[in-house]
Amino acid sequence: MNRGRRKRLQEVYDALEEQLTALEEIRDEEQESYDNYPESLQESERGQALYENVDSLDSAYNDLESLMESIQEVLER
């Protein structure tokens, strides 16, 4: 990979890293919101929606982390 493409790819990686941090913060805030619900409300429709949000955000976090690992492999070659 030439220097120009490598630099652009590094910029993409850096931007993704910032987004990963933001996504982690949002996921953690949503988890905290769910955890602060009384147990009786965790089973409510709203509580279940919060739980599903946390699960989806966790999946997105893992997918983004995997993408970043793939990009890092290219940058290390």
Confidence of residue 48 (pLDDT cuts 50, 70, 90): very high
Residue 38: give the domain boundaries: 3-76
According to the model, what pLDDT value does residue 44 have?
Answer: 93
- Among the ranges given (8-12, 24-28, 42-46, 72-76), the one the predictor scored with the smallest mean pLDDT: 42-46
According to the model, what pLDDT value does residue 57 have?
Answer: 98
According to the model, what pLDDT value does residue 32 have?
Answer: 96
Mean pLDDT calculated for residue range 49-61:
97
Number of domains making up the chain: 1
According to the model, what pLDDT value does residue 25 have?
Answer: 98
DSSP string, 4-54: HHHHHHHHHHHHHHHHHHHHHHHHHHHHHHHHHS-HHHHTSHHHHHHHHHH
